[in-house]
A and B are shown apart, each in its own frame.
Chain A
Amino acid sequence: MLGTLPPFEYYQPSTLEEALVLLERLDGNVSLFAGGTDLLVAMKDHRLKPRALVDIKHIPQLGTIRTEDGGLSLGAAVTTRAIARALLVRERFPLLSQAVRTLGSMQIGNRATLGGNLSNASPAADCAPALLTLRAWVKLAGPQGDRSLPLEDFFLGPGKTVINREVLTEVHVPAPSALGRGIFYKLGPRGAPEDICIASVAVFAVPDAAGRSWEDVSIALGAVAPMPIRARNAEEALRGQPIGAQTTKDAAQMAAEKDAQPISDIRGSASYRRAMIQVLVGRALEHVARDVKKEAMV
């Protein structure tokens, strides 16, 4: 598995336009290079041998975190550690901060980027479930112009996205409901950030004004389908229902039996993953319910 990197051409565009021109000119077999924590590993393993790397870390508009319409706009080349630690994210999007923090070690987090994690499109991508529950959008820039689409429509399969000679420039997270609370659980072999997850769950749920039933629930699952997915059956089972142990139990079971589509692979069997989804969804809903209750008592 150890190996030197195969040879390649290296480009460092300083604007998005330059990057797009390069992508056109190089005509395929080009990799965009941000943190490189997935890319360089694949290249050392000779799984990927791009003819050229286009380093996008020097394009200013890809490196910012800002608010937009009350929501969050994250440049695709911002490091995951910077996102997790940004005050703006911690205070107004705590679920996102918590989830992104689990992506990897400190050292990896100082290089890995949100854009890279999403573009790499592992079904286990750590940033994806939380972003799905927060109804995130991605913005792509291409030779034909820009387009935006919901993150849900961005993934096509393991390692595949809709990107076509484009640069993912931004992830936009709309302002969540002030009453909403969320949590992200990642199950891995060490229980450490470095783990690639065996299964993961994000929940973002909004109680009704009285705090007694679920007004809106978003549940997303990682590593149990060809891509990160929303658990629509479980969500449907909860919408409008009273917050409580029985509805939580039913939803967790629904997520495991109807929403998860796990396979058996090196990290776990399908049946284990299914069982774990049930546990994780249950725990996540319990956690959010407790948060909601705490708020209601204040």
Chain B
Amino acid sequence: MNEPRDIRVTINGEAYSISAAPNETLLDLLRYRLGLVGTKKGCDIGDCGSCTVLVDGKAVNSCLVLAVETNGASITTIEGMRSAGQLHPLQQAFIDHGAVQCGFCTPGMIMAAKFLLEEEPNPTEEDIRFAMAGNLCRCTGYVSIMKAIAVAGKALREGK
């Protein structure tokens, strides 16, 4: 019952060898065992999106993924968004456009937006609204967030 399993997982480009119990979620693994606290625990039941990470490139709520399922997977968290010392255009756009107030929803927003822009590089406002509906924010009223995503999308399309 609940026997720990050895898993090998790549997180933000780094390989990890971990022993995880079946009932440990990916979210708990990231936060409590690996100290990657950028990913947040909000509702813990897949409604708020603050725990969003990319697993094999797909945005998922990590509170509803078992750690043991991620054996062999490649995971990207907010900590992995910066590269070569530079902020990702999404991170920069969120800062530039006032899309970060308390910051709690921000990592989840950015990971979800990254996925959106990869699948839909030129989204309409409607596309962004629909795609981001799984991420809740109590501070901003969403307008600045949508603007930041649109701006980042443009920057990415222009190869910035």
Contact = CB atoms under 8 A, between A and B. Distances in A.
B38 interface: no
Interface stretch (A6-14, A161-169, A233-241): A6-14
B46 interface: yes
A176 B59 CA distance: 33
Contacts, number: 86
B45 A1 contact: yes
Interface string A189-207: 0101110000000000000
Overall SS of chain A's interface: loop
B86 interface: no
A10 B66 contact: yes
Interface in A1-55: 1-2, 4-10, 35-37, 40-41, 44, 51, 53, 55
A106 B1 CA distance: 33
B57 to A, nearest CB: 10
A36 B45 contact: no
Nearest to A85: B119
A10 B61 CA distance: 20
A180 interface: no
Overall SS of chain B's interface: mixed
A110 B22 contact: no
Interface string A51-81: 1010101000000000000000000000000
A194 B133 contact: yes
Interface string B65-90: 11011000000000000000000000
Given A41-B64, A107-B46, A10 B112 contact: no
A106 B131 contact: yes
Nearest to A193: B133
Contacts of B58: 110
Interface string B119-160: 000000000001101110000000000000000000000000
Nearest to B44: A2
Contact of B69 (A9, A41, A55, A108): A55
B45 A9 contact: no
Given A10-B68, A41-B46, A192-B133, A107 B112 contact: yes
Nearest to A111: B60
Interface of B: 1-3, 5, 21-25, 28, 43-47, 49, 52, 58-61, 64-66, 68-69, 112, 115-116, 130-131, 133-135
